[in-house]
């Protein structure tokens, strides 16, 4: 019989470390609900000690999720661990994930601690975490560059102290599959009490090997993989949940384990995360990219028409791909919208929020005859943003663009309850709109990214715009959606500005 492979999703914690990908409490809860529907075993919800906002987000996920284990990250410090335990009080099933660095360079340059001190602090942290939950995970940060004998010593000690999961992170994405798989095999063989804990891996994608390293570890005894939806994460990202899960599911002739995930929820999860974070999925991305099951070559098309398995090693339906069904239009009522959103895993905490969403739905229905599920996801994201107490709001925008003339934009913004107007010229209508906004706000932020994607197909499709701004080394993403791409762009720019105005005290550690 196959062993169970535990899927530990860290989209809400490590995925959020992508520059500009921060999520608010409601967005984290929405994603957590989709992960729960997917039957993800463990959801790492955040790092509670980082800020009051992070604490509240972890608490909200812990209070909402019933079927998955909710995990909180902490450094090997009493204040971190106690804060994590407090945030997880409402969880049906909780886990505290604590860590300390074990590589020579980290111990000497970052921690400035001796190996003996590191072992002592690691053991103390696990014992402290056990006061809050009997489900404790320990990670030796930068394990991929740690000395094997010392790594064995630390892990043996924390298992004796009560750690039930040992996670081996390739923190900087330095390892290659053969090397990383051998590391797992050596640890399991050399550590006397290794059978008392589940061994896990957490791989970064700096060399494009995160999934390969994770799978090599699984083949050598790891029975938990830490991953994120769409491979989101610090720098080049983390191992992609969808790639790990489908590789193991597809190649059961090779792997002696399998997950219990409902893989039909992969595409809905991918789209939701992309929409909330503003990180679109590249078309040729495995499993979830738009071209993942497309066939351009005539030879391939002919083969697939004769027998799907000639060129497809898995079914598109198994990961949630299906033709977008038209479900709502301008004559649809409030209850129809509420019912369809519930089918998509979206429920509103108040009637006011539902009413706001319905009002926006009606506005969209007047512009766009056929409304798809992806439109609804974008609409809910926009409604959630509108429910926040924003400093800046778009009241109206007028642009003029014609051949041979300089594009112009005039707009009215509501800034802290007061309406202000501005006009500007630009290289194009979007550039003019951004300059008009800055004429009022004068944020002095630098535009680092401007990206446009269509939410659905057709000339009446909504444009989904991402704007990335940087100011004083702080990076934020803004999103906006509209059938008018210039309005969508202005919305995205204003959304990013509002995020810049919010206090951000987070200082996420990285694994």
Kindly list the distances between the CA atom of residue 199 and the CA atoms of 15, 180, 419, in Å, as whole numbers in the listed order: 21, 13, 58
Interatomic CA distance for residues 41 and 48, integer angstroms: 20
- Answer whether residue 306 shows pLDDT above 70: no
pLDDT score, position 385: 60
Q: pLDDT by residue (tens digit) across 420-457?
A: 999 999 999 999 999 999 999 999 999 999 999 887 77
Q: Who wins on pLDDT, 114 or 387?
A: 114
pLDDT score, position 7: 98
Interatomic CA distance for residues 98 and 113, integer angstroms: 17
- Name the least confident of 146-150, 199-203, 315-319: 315-319
Mean predicted confidence (pLDDT) in 332-341: 84
**pLDDT above 90 coverage of the chain, percent:** 65
Mean predicted confidence (pLDDT) in 372-400: 80
Q: pLDDT by residue (tens digit) across 399-427?
A: 999 999 999 999 999 999 999 999 999 99
pLDDT score, position 298: 45
Is residue 71 helix, strand or coil?
A: strand
- Answer whether residue 297 shows pLDDT above 50: no
Interatomic CA distance for residues 353 and 385, integer angstroms: 11
pLDDT score, position 304: 38
pLDDT score, position 327: 62
> Average model confidence (pLDDT) for the chain?
89
Domains with residue ranges and CATH for the chain: 3-277 (3.20.20.70), 334-385 (no CATH), 392-501 (3.30.160.270)
Burial of residue 350 (CB within 10 Å: 0-12, 13-18, 19+) is exposed
Q: Name the pLDDT band for 91 (thresholds 50, 70, 90).
A: very high
pLDDT score, position 406: 96
Mean predicted confidence (pLDDT) in 119-145: 96
- The 3-state secondary structure of 280-322 reads CCCCCCCCCCCCCCCCCCHHHHHHHHHCHHHCCCCCHHHHCCC
Q: Find, among 7, 32, 74, 173, the residue nearest to 507 by Cα.
A: 74
- Answer whether residue 102 shows pLDDT above 50: yes
If one counts every other C-beta atom within 10 angstroms of the C-beta of residue 256, the result is: 13
Q: Who wins on pLDDT, 2 or 86?
A: 86
Q: Who wins on pLDDT, 510 or 1?
A: 510
First to last CA, the chain: 32
- Answer whether residue 180 shows pLDDT above 70: yes
- Answer whether residue 309 shows pLDDT above 80: no
**Do the beta carbons of residue 165 and residue 224 sit within 8 Å?**
yes
- Answer whether residue 230 shows pLDDT above 70: yes
């Amino acid at each position: 019989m196959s062993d169970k492979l535990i899927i530990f999703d860290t989209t809400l914690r490590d995925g959020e470390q992508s520059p500009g990908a921060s999520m608010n409490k409601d967005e984290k809860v929405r994603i957590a609900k989709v992960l729960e529907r997917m039957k993800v075993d463990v959801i790492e919800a955040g790092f509670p000690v980082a800020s009051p906002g992070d604490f509240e987000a972890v608490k909200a996920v812990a209070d909402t999720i019933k079927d998955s284990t909710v995990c909180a990250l902490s450094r090997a410090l009493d204040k971190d661990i106690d804060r994590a335990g407090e945030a997880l009080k409402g969880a049906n099933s909780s886990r505290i994930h604590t860590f300390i660095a074990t590589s020579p360079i980290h111990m000497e340059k970052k921690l400035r601690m001796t190996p003996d001190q590191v072992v002592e602090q690691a053991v103390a942290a696990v014992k402290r975490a056990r006061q809050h939950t009997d489900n404790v995970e320990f990670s030796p940060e930068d394990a991929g560059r740690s000395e094997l004998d010392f790594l064995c010593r630390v892990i043996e000690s924390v298992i004796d102290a009560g750690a039930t999961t040992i996670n081996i992170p390739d923190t900087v994405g330095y390892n290659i599959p053969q090397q990383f798989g051998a590391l797992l095999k050596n640890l399991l063989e050399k550590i006397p009490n290794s059978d008392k804990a589940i061994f896990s891996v957490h791989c970064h994608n700096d060399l494009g090997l995160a999934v390969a390293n994770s799978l090599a570890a699984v083949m050598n005894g790891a029975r938990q993989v830490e991953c994120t939806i769409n491979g989101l994460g610090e720098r080049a990202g983390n191992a992609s949940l969808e790639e790990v899960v489908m590789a193991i599911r597809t190649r059961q002739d090779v792997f002696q384990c399998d997950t219990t995930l409902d893989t039909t929820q992969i595409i809905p999860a991918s789209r939701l995360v992309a929409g909330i974070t503003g990180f679109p999925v590249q078309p040729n991305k495995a499993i979830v990219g738009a071209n993942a099951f497309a066939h351009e070559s005539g030879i391939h098309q002919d083969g697939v028409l004769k027998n799907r398995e000639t060129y497809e090693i898995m079914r598109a339906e198994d990961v949630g791909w299906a033709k977008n069904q038209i479900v709502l239009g301008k004559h649809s009522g409030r209850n129809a919208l509420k019912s369809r959103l519930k089918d998509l895993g979206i429920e509103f905490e108040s009637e006011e929020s539902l009413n706001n969403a319905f009002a926006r739905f009606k506005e969209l229905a007047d512009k766009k005859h056929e409304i798809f599920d992806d439109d609804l996801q974008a609409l809910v994201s926009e409604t959630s943003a509108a429910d926040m107490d924003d400093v800046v709001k778009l009241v109206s925008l007028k642009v003029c663009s014609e051949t041979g003339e300089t594009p112009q934009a005039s707009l009215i913004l509501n800034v802290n309850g007061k309406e202000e107007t501005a006009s500007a010229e630009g290289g194009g209508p979007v550039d003019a709109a951004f300059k008009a906004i800055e004429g009022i706000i004068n944020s002095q932020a630098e535009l680092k990214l401007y990206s446009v994607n269509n939410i659905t197909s057709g000339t009446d499709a909504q444009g989904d715009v991402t704007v990335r701004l940087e100011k004083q080394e702080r990076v934020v993403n803004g999103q906006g959606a509209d059938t008018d791409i210039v309005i969508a762009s202005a919305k995205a720019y204003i959304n990013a500005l509002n995020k810049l105005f919010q206090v951000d005290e987070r200082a996420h550690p990285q694994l």
